[in-house]
Homo-oligomer: A and B are copies of this chain.
Amino acid sequence: MADLAKLSIHQVTLLQQCTTPQFIETMAHHDVRCASLWRDKVREHGVERTAALVADSGITMSGYCFGGLVTSPDAREAARARDDVRRALDEAAALGAPCLVFVAGGVDPAEKSIANARTRALDGIADLIPHARSVGVKLAIEPLHPMICATRSVLSTVGQATRWCDKLAADDIVGIAVDTYAVWWDPDLEAEIARAGKRICAFHVSDWLVDTQDLRFDRGMMGDGVIDIPGIRAMVERTGFDGWVEVEIFSQRNWWKRDTDEVVETIQERFESAT
């Protein structure tokens, strides 16, 4: 049985039901001690006002999501994207989040070069490191599912993330976010997680539904799909990771349509039975 005290809930899981104040209130009401915030919603309410709410609530932050998309071949556009990541880092610091989830960016359709996109992503992260250090917020680089490689992330595996970390040589301020939904299919997952080791600074869970209908917004509740979530959690915890287990479910056809209390209660139940 999983320890409910490790549960963190990502704001995006209640994206369509709650404003930011309602989300914080819901977490407090259900005694969820940790949460991760979704940048678009936070900015809707205002960063400072959200930071005050978070401080008042006593809820711990496990992360701030997300910044990145720095792979444009247009130098000015890429510079603007990096500036935006710096703002996101500032916001994360104001909110008391220990890390900013970093989403690399996709492949330019005119250039058609995944290799160039990866080079620019890596250069972009390197460029952001001084600012991340100055505000004390880790860049949690997150491999995303290969099905969103073209548009969201040319970083696709934990092994690749580790190689990027090797090159960046900045373990104090760059870590790896492992998300079960993004990596469960990887034939080398166990070895890759072991090698990532202490670099793993965030762990996200949700399930893969057999009848998945959308490339981004059709994630499943833990236990409703095919992922051996406890197995992957065990791999991550064998590295020494003892941080929060963050539930992050994008679900247009199901969970975003349900009553807030039902969603949180189901998460708590499944956290114990299937995480």
Contacts and interface: CB of A to CB of B under 8 A. Distances in A.
A177 to B, nearest CB: 17
A111 to B, nearest CB: 9
A187 B188 CA distance: 13
Contact of A212 (B150, B157, B160): B150
Interface string A157-197: 10110010000000000000000000011111000000000
Contacts of A109: 210, 225-226
B113 A150 contact: no
Nearest to A149: B185
Contacts of A118: 187
| A interface residue count range (under 10 / 10 to 19 / 20 to 34 / 35 or more) | 35 or more
Given A112-B226, A228-B114, A150 B186 contact: no
A107 B184 CA distance: 11
Contacts of A157: 187
A149 to B, nearest CB: 4
A22 interface: no
A145 interface: yes
Given A156-B186, A160-B187, A185-B156, A147 B228 contact: no
Contacts of A213: 215
- Chain A residues touching B, majority SS: loop
A156 B188 CA distance: 10
A227 interface: yes
Contact of A114 (B150, B154, B184): B184
B215 A147 contact: yes
Contacts of A149: 184-185, 208
A228 B213 CA distance: 27
A266 interface: no
A186 B155 CA distance: 9
Given A109-B225, A147-B212, A156-B186, 20 more contacts: A107-B226, A108-B226, A109-B226, A113-B228, A114-B185, A114-B226, A146-B146, A146-B147, A146-B185, A147-B215, A149-B208, A150-B185, A150-B208, A150-B209, A150-B210, A150-B225, A156-B185, A156-B187, A160-B188, A163-B187
